[in-house]
Chain A
Amino acid sequence: MSNLVTLTIDGRPVSVPGDYTVLRAAEVAGIKIPRLCFLEGIHEASNCRVCVVKIEGQKGLKTSCSTQVQDGMIIKTNTKEVYDTVSFNLELLAGNHKFECWKCSRENSCEFLDLLRRYNVENDFSNAKLFDQKDILFNDTSGAMVIDSSKCVLCGRCVSACEKLSGLGILNFNKRGSKTFVGPALFHNLEDSGCIYCGKCIQACPTGALREDDQIKTFERALRDPNKVVVVQVAPAVRAALGEEFGYKIGTNVEGQLFASLKELGVNEIIDTNFTADLTIMEEGHEFINRLNHQGVLPMFTSCSPGWINYLEMYYPEYIPNLSSCKSPQQMAGALIKTYYAERLNKAAKDIVSVSIMPCVAKKAEAKRPEMGRDGLRDVDIVLTTRELARLIRHQGIPFRDLEPSKPFGALASYTGAASIFGASGGVMEAALRTVSEILEGHSTPIEFTEVRGSEEIKEATYTIHGNEIRVAVVQGGRAIKEFLEHMKTGTKTYHFVEFMGCVGGCVNGGGQPIVPAEIQEKVDVRAKRAKVLYAIDEATEFRKSHLNPAIQEIYESFLDKPNSHLAHTLLHTKYTKRSPYSGS
């Protein structure tokens, strides 16, 4: 901590550490300087010129996000000059923005719109249709993510977020001057650009230039079709964040209202992806024990995060044999819905619409993989992100906050605590260890493996199970994945079991989760608060180990036979393919 310096902002004296920026000092003083492109720790390039202030004795206006405080500085944030400049800068930005707010994915969370409102900005430039003269990049061919540069204000947040959070640098500025647009190189489609669909760029975008491929309408159409049965599955992390869209504090569990709102929407059957998370542990756990006992390929890598699968297939295909062959819980649920569950409902698989609510953008692409279906039918037909579900609930006028909490109404809905923590980094590993240790030791073993929890990007732990030392690691986020795998190639450390997640924080911080404004992101540890919800659910459940779930025992008895059985392999396991970015012309 450097020494305190004292400065005056709008006549208020304030003392802050010497390494603070003016923007941060103003926040301490309770003065709200407008800001658009600044994203702490990720994008601090002062591109947007919206946070300018007047510093006495200095020429012109200075960007407060990149100016360091000095002792005795006298700063004014509300002079006519500052106000007019900020208004005009916003007006210029608006001139390149296509306004269709009513259908925009950011209808309720647009940082740009908030600023335009605050400054009551005139819209002469965009009314003059200047943006029509610009080449627009509109790319929705991936079926997972959409880039629409007509809404881009070129703040550069997504470019930095992609580089710093995924470590991939898929997005960048192309061309220059008035022709500049953000996207993959040379108008290449996103699916050919090496993008893993982690969605960190979407969460960084202050407008709607980057978004998930919207499937709300398809879902509504299915709900209106009297010949279809709509079966919805909900991922563990959704309930930990959906509330934020309806004004709840970050870290509120809204499981009951979530199920109630689905009922209101007219969904026929609800199942819980938590159930197939338990199933994943059964399959993956037994696969691990098999590899351990029969000299299989180790370390075994988890396979629940589709962002991570994309990453491995494209950048480290040599490690494909290490991947568990288990499908992700979403796809396991999809396969069961179209087979086992269809039979129970006495319906043909073609009359069932299988929908999943996911905290993730990559899940959309996963559901579209050719191998994820049978007889020409998809296992999962529609994937909605947490955000899309929230929009739909709002559009339908469902009073989310006033709903009486409900339970899921379906046979595949019971879950253990082990399943609920799937949504947090380290959760899959912990859930697997709970089951694997108990099966190997043959008696009841401890429940909590707290060493694999927490926010560190690479976590390691060693456990002694049944006399053997089991070395495990938990890796989260593209940057850490690269670091870890590069180490594995050259280092001497060996592991038995490694959990990987495409997103830092795991699914609670997935690319499909509600967007937290930049100002709040830097004050609140969003990941930890959402993860806490899942760990609280874990502690409150009756069974906390997947193999103890009575419904799981039942489905093996009546349908799947035993873990890794032939039928389980057909329905619940998959294969991976090497792919390479920029292979299209």
Chain B
Amino acid sequence: MIVSGKQLITEEKLAHLYASMEENKKKPGPLMPTLHEAQKIFGCVPLSIQKIISRELDQSIAKINGVVTFYSQFSIEPKGENIINVCLGTACYVRGSQGILDAFSDELKIAPGETTADGIFTLQATRCIGACGLAPVITVNQTVHGNCSVQNAKEILKNFKKTL
């Protein structure tokens, strides 16, 4: 599979996954840490990766996929290099986060949950991220931006694009 010009699964990445599984097998409940690692390495956990994990950890594919599709941290489809999350939890929502989400949608020309054609951004709506005091809140990768508005959201995006 090729995502934005790059091979999604490479020998190098696979070696990394196998190494982490060897580590995780020593722990009780090796599935969750392995899936986290796989999501980090590949940016998603597609069926081909689930098959490898199934074989190594001796768990059925249906079970692994059950976990992958249960938690929103995992994805089947590749995500973009940068992930923008807009909180739609109650506090953020009543303070207008839906408008911010729509603004990002307009700017990036993608619907929430989608990835831009160049593979640079993924836009997501999330549940409460526990920073209600700063509502409305968005995150760009690991950075949290509080007290957002439609106006400064556009600015955050513009500034972030400069750093790319």
Interface residues of A (CB under 8 A from B): 163, 168-176, 183-186, 193-194, 581-582
Contacts and interface: CB of A to CB of B under 8 A. Distances in A.
B61 A174 contact: no
For the residues of A in contact with B, the DSSP-based class is: loop
Contacts of B59: 169
B69 A175 contact: yes
25 contacts: A163-B63, A169-B60, A169-B62, A170-B60, A172-B60, A172-B62, A172-B66, A173-B66, A174-B69, A175-B69, A175-B70, A176-B70, A183-B62, A184-B61, A184-B62, A185-B61, A185-B62, A185-B64, A185-B65, A185-B66, A186-B69, A186-B76, A193-B62, A194-B60, A582-B47
A183 B62 CA distance: 8
Interface residues of B, number: 14
Contacts of A173: 66, 70
A171 B60 CA distance: 9
Given A173-B70, A174-B66, A582 B60 contact: no
A175 B72 CA distance: 9
A172 B64 CA distance: 9
Contact of A176 (B62, B65, B69): B69
A176 B69 CA distance: 7
A169 to B, nearest CB: 3
Contacts of A185: 47, 50, 61-62, 64-66
B145 interface: no
Nearest to B68: A185
Interface string B26-57: 00000000000000000000010011000000
Contacts of A581: 61
Contacts of A172: 60, 62-63, 65-66
Interface of B: 47, 50-51, 59-66, 69-70, 76
A194 B60 CA distance: 10
Given A174-B69, A175-B69, 5 more contacts: A168-B60, A176-B70, A183-B62, A186-B76, A582-B47
A183 B66 CA distance: 9
Contacts of B61: 184-185, 193-194, 581-582
A184 B69 CA distance: 12
A169 B63 contact: yes
Contacts of A176: 69-70
A200 to B, nearest CB: 14
Contacts of B60: 163, 168-170, 172, 194
A176 B76 CA distance: 15
B35 to A, nearest CB: 13
Contacts of A184: 61-62
A168 B54 CA distance: 11
Contacts of B63: 163, 169, 172
Contacts of B66: 172-174, 185
Contact of B65 (A163, A186, A194): A186
Contacts of B64: 185
Q: Which of B51, B62, B66, B70 has the most CB of A within 10 A?
A: B62
Nearest to B46: A186
A262 to B, nearest CB: 39
B33 to A, nearest CB: 20
A170 B65 CA distance: 11
A460 to B, nearest CB: 25
B150 to A, nearest CB: 29
Given A185-B50, A186-B47, A170 B62 contact: yes
Q: Which of A173, A174, A185, A194 has the most CB of B within 10 A?
A: A185
A195 to B, nearest CB: 10
Nearest to B65: A185
A169 B59 CA distance: 8
Contacts of B70: 173, 175-176
A486 to B, nearest CB: 11
A12 B50 CA distance: 53
A183 B61 CA distance: 11
B51 A582 contact: yes
A184 B51 CA distance: 13
- In the A-B complex, list the 10 residue pairs whose CB atoms are closest, starting with the nearest: A169-B60, A185-B65, A172-B62, A172-B66, A176-B70, A175-B69, A185-B62, A173-B66, A185-B61, A172-B63
Nearest to B72: A176
Contacts of A171: 62
A582 B70 CA distance: 20
A186 B61 CA distance: 10
A581 B64 CA distance: 15
A171 B66 CA distance: 9
Contacts of B65: 172, 174, 185-186
A168 B61 CA distance: 9
